[in-house]
Each structure stands twice: as structure tokens, then as C-alpha cells.
Amino acid sequence: MELIILPDAATASRSAADHLAALLIKKPTAVLGLATGSTPVALYRELIKKQRTEGLDFSGCSSFNLDEYVGLGPDHPASYRRFMQENLFAEINLPLSRVHIPDGLAKDLPAHCDAYEKSIRDAGGIDLQILGIGSDGHIGFNEPTSSLGSRTRLKTLTERTRADNARFFPNPEDVPHHVITMGIGTILEARSISLLAFGASKAAAIAAMVEGPITAMVPASILQTHPAVKVFLDDAAATEPSKIDYYRNVFAQKPSWQQW
């Protein structure tokens, strides 16, 4: 796990965008795992800018989103399909025929989740998975106590997560109780992972993820076992790990041949 600590969220987002762009240049048919929420918005803006100014090409890509609220259709203002359309897909040349987002209105949820897993396998697996992290250490919507080998499935949100997401809804009581989410086992099968975290509210979760024990109580801690994880942080999110000076030095002294 490599920690990339930069002064602010904008700089860290640009660095994450450079990493993703390097993958697309190397592999134009890359399969991207995408996330929603406020954390990746700056990353998506940087990718849009790279297409407009540098010709970054998404036309050969496919994408799979981590999750969706159960009961919300694609046109609902708080649906993740709507979020992705407004914040990324409408501005880049990724073919919508190769965009995959869980269907919050699926009538047979277990069958839909199984089909989603099959679609990822049929696409050849995810090359780069973008993640955020919850203040309690969840990734995707894999809440604390989630199985570390879990697959795409229905999950019940904790009240803490519902409260964290209430800002996206007119009223707190409107936040759904259930979601479809990629499982932790699904996430771990991505060939590489970029996790972004910004702000002091994420500092404790980052410390637990990086230096704490691997435990289902901090689902992100399982990323310690993955061979290719980059963690993009601003200074505020990097205040609690005990070896922070070492992490900064590792990145500062990184050999040029290891860049991306």
C-alpha cells in the first residue's frame, strides 16, 4: 500500500487523475471501477479536463460502479446513475453501452447481483478500482462487520452512513435503508486500486486502514493484503498514522522507473 500525501484535495485529485490517465494510455481498453460521493468529484473534473486539453480517450473503456440505492430509479436526483451522468459520463467519450451501474429497481435483487458479478468477469475484470472511504472505514457500502470475502449483494446501511449521506437528500428520512454494493471480495479482485480520502474527518479511518489490524470492523483494512493500492490523501486526512514521516519519505524518494 502506497500513501501519496499532498497538500490539498485538488492536488491529490490531479495526481490520481494522472495515475488513471497513465493506465488508459498504456491500455486503452481498460475496465474502470468507479465510485460516487463527494470525494471523487474533483478526480472526475480532472479527467474531463484531460480529455478536453490532452485528448485522453475513453472510447475503448468499460466501467462498473460500486453501488446504487435500492428503490431509486436512474432519474432520481440522488441516484448514483444520475450522479455519474452529471459528473462524468456526459462530458467524456465513454460509450454508455459499456457503462454498468447496479439497478436500484431490479425486481430480483439476488439474480441482478449475480448477473453484475458475471458482467465484471465477462469484461475481463476491473483494471483500476476507484474508492473512497467512510468515516467508519467502509468501502463501497460494505459496512463494518461485512464479510471480507463478500460479493455484490444487498446491504442494509448503518444509521451513521445514512446520516453522512443525508446531505444528498431533501430530508434525512428520505435516505434509503438498503443498497446494492460490490462486495469486498469483488473489490479485491481489481488489478489495482486507487483510494482517495480528504479532510480531518477521514484521518482516523485512514490510520485504522493502513496501520490497524485487518478486521471486518474496518472493512478498508483488508486493502493491506492487496498488492497494488495507492492511497491519495490531503494533509488533513494524513494526521493520524504513526509512520507518516516514513510514508512521505517513501514517496519523495520514489525511483523514476516506479512512477505509475
Is 67 among the residues known to form the active site? Answer: yes
Residue tagged active-site, from 46, 68, 143, 164:
143
- Say whether 211 is catalytic: no
How far lies 210's CA from each of 8, 223, 251, in Å? 20, 8, 15
In the chain, where are the structural domains located? 2-258
Is residue 114 among the annotated active site residues?
no
Catalytic residue among 46, 68, 127, 136: 136
Residues 207, 243 contacting (CB under 8 angstroms)? no
Pick the CATH number of 2-258 from 3.40.50.1820, 3.40.50.1360, 3.20.20.70, 3.30.70.380: 3.40.50.1360
Q: Low-confidence residues of the chain, pLDDT below 70?
A: 257-260
Region at 160 (left for phi over 0; alpha for psi -120 to 50; beta for the rest) = alpha
The model scores a pTM over 0.75: yes
Half-sphere exposure for 132 (CA within 13 Å, toward CB) = 25
Please write the tens of the pLDDT for every residue from 70-91. 999 999 999 999 999 999 999 9
User: Among the options 46, 67, 103, 127, which is catalytic?
Assistant: 67
57 noted as active-site residue: no
Q: 22-54: per-residue pLDDT in tens?
A: 999 999 999 999 999 999 999 999 999 999 999
Which residue bears the cell 468515516? 135
Q: How far apart are CA 79 and CA 114, in angstroms?
A: 21
Catalytic residue among 68, 127, 138, 164: 138
